[in-house]
Amino acid sequence: MGTQPPEENQGAKDSRNEERFHSVEERLGHLEEDARLRTVEERVQDLEEGRVSEIEGENEGVPDIEGEGQRTLYLTLAALLKDLLVVQTIAALPKTVSEAVKDRSDLRTKEIEAQRRVSARVFYFGLGFSAFVLVALSALAWHDKITKDVFAGLVGSLIGYWYGREKGR
């Protein structure tokens, strides 16, 4: 009567083992986190004091110097700037760009002036041609070569052309 059935005894053992497992797992997690924090704190302290560990493999996967990419960039820029030709080229770059912009502006101005001249020529040529067509139609109507109805239709078209042409401006 003092003993428990084997099934109940096994269930109690399993729950105790599970509790122990979770407790050990939790302690292990805390220990790992503490170890990582300690490593980071040591690394920060080394960097603040200017010391960098030279022991290979101590910090595998972690660069020896934080910002190593920046250091490499600075060294590359310094090597580049040692070359006089590169420095002169970099110094001349803003001047070259400003000259290119100025040249483009000048060309655009010349293009606009040329376009205005061509536009004026086209306008006066069109006006002269319209005047010629009006005179020709009037002469044809005066000599009864075309009827008054045809003359009215053609002059109406010519007026519509003038009106539409001026409206576009």
80-100 per-position pLDDT tens digit: 777 778 788 888 889 999 999
In a domain, 89, yes or no: yes
Distance between CA atoms of residues 103 and 111, nearest Å: 12
In Å, what is the CA distance from 90 to each residue of 48, 86, 108? 36, 6, 28
Same domain for 141 and 91, yes or no, is: yes
In Å, what is the CA distance from 41 to each residue of 35, 36, 44, 68, 106? 10, 9, 5, 19, 63
Same domain for 90 and 153, yes or no, is: yes
Stronger pLDDT, 86 or 119, i.e. the higher one: 119
Same domain for 168 and 85, yes or no, is: yes
pLDDT of 31 > 70? The answer is yes
Same domain for 168 and 86, yes or no, is: yes
Q: Which of 97, 72, 76, 100 is closest to 86 using CA atoms?
A: 76
Amino acid identity, residue 55?
I
In a domain, 147, yes or no: yes
Q: What is the pLDDT of residues 50-69, one digit of tens each?
A: 655 444 445 555 555 556 77
Distance between CA atoms of residues 99 and 85, nearest Å: 20
Same domain for 109 and 161, yes or no, is: yes
For 46, the domain range is 1-66
Mean pLDDT value of segment 37-52: 73
From 66, 89, 105, give the residue that closes a domain: 66
In a domain, 71, yes or no: no
In a domain, 74, yes or no: no
As for how many domains the chain has, the answer is 2
Q: What is the structure's pLDDT at 3?
A: 57
Same domain for 88 and 58, yes or no, is: no
Same domain for 95 and 26, yes or no, is: no
The reply to whether the predicted model has a pTM over 0.85 is: no
154: Cβ contacts below 8 Å, ≥ 6 apart: 137, 146
Mean pLDDT value of segment 8-29: 80
